[in-house]
């Protein structure tokens, strides 16, 4: 099944180049739509049936974070960010809110297409430096919350959920399909388990779960 990509950029030449690249790619990628503003995107994405949003975050940087937050609550779509400004604070906050990756505007077209495919598969497209910064930010947010011991939190997980959490922590860069296969369950069953785990641990996504696991050394402690 083709991967439907929606593109947003207020840079008209860049928007045209990106849409042309996706439309002409000899891959399972199709253009679901495009627009030049976040306001337009909010409306068009309701009916575009897009799998991935390729979002140029440089043009309306002040509105990017509220947009991502609202979009994640409204629909299931994976977001790949495009930037050239190197605003690490903004980039990290966008990823913490749910963006699945970050790519530089100067990246070769082939690598951009690779990133779109990997994000669609469930992987996170971040370099090592960005990944480290995001984990630090998630850990900091965790420290800002009322202190509850990890043991007390993990005690709320079933034995199966603890096993799944350990597997996720040891397979942080692998797509959900691969992790589900290791656990001998379907992807939908894995998603259901993760939703339950997120709720019990007070995290909002897989990034938060990984940060929590690394912060408390749970990958080793929960190993079967």
CATH number at residue 179: 1.10.10.10
Task: Please give the pLDDT value at position 43.
Answer: 93
Q: What is the pLDDT of residues 25-48, one digit of tens each?
A: 878 899 999 999 999 999 999 999
The CA–CA distances, whole Å, from 217 to 169, 191, 207, 213, 221 equal 9, 23, 15, 6, 7
Q: What is the DSSP string of 112-179?
A: HHHHHHHHHTT--B--HHHHHHHHHHHHHHHHTSPP--HHHHHTTS-HHHHHHHHHHHHTTTS-HHHH
The arithmetic mean of pLDDT across residues 85-91, rounded, is: 81
- pTM of the shown model: 0.64
pLDDT exceeds cutoff 90 at 52: yes
53 shares its domain with 106: yes
Q: What is the pLDDT of residues 188-200, one digit of tens each?
A: 999 899 888 888 8
102 shares its domain with 176: no
- Expressed as residue numbers, the domain containing 190 is 137-221
Q: At which of 95, 125, 155 does a domain end?
A: 125
34 shares its domain with 80: yes
Q: At which of 125, 148, 182 does a domain end?
A: 125
- How far does Cα 172 stand from its chain's mean position? 12
Residue 132 lies in a domain: no
Report yes or no: 30 and 22 within 8 Å, Cβ to Cβ. yes
The arithmetic mean of pLDDT across residues 148-177, rounded, is: 76
The arithmetic mean of pLDDT across residues 130-146, rounded, is: 62
């Amino acid at each position: 099944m083709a991967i439907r990509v929606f593109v947003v950029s207020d840079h008209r030449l860049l928007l045209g180049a990106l849409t042309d690249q996706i439309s002409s790619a000899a891959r399972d990628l199709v253009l679901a739509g495009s627009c030049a503003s976040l306001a337009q995107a909010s409306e068009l994405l309701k009916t575009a049936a897009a799998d991935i949003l390729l979002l140029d975050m440089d043009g309306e940087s002040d509105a990017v974070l509220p947009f991502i937050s609202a979009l994640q609550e409204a629909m299931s779509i994976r977001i790949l960010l495009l930037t050239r400004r190197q605003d690490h604070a903004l980039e990290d906050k966008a990823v913490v809110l749910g963006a699945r990756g970050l790519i530089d505007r100067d990246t070769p077209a082939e690598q951009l297409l690779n990133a779109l495919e990997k994000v669609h598969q469930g992987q996170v497209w971040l370099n090592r430096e960005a990944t480290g910064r995001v984990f630090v930010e998630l850990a900091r947010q965790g420290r800002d919350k009322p202190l509850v011991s990890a043991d007390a939190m993990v005690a709320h997980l079933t034995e199966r959920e603890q096993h799944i959490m350990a597997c996720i922590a040891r397979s942080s860069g692998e797509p959900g399909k691969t992790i589900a296969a290791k656990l001998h369950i379907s992807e939908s069953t894995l998603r259901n388990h993760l939703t339950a785990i997120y709720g019990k641990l007070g995290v909002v996504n897989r990034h938060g779960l990984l940060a929590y696991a690394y912060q408390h050394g749970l990958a080793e402690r929960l190993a079967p």
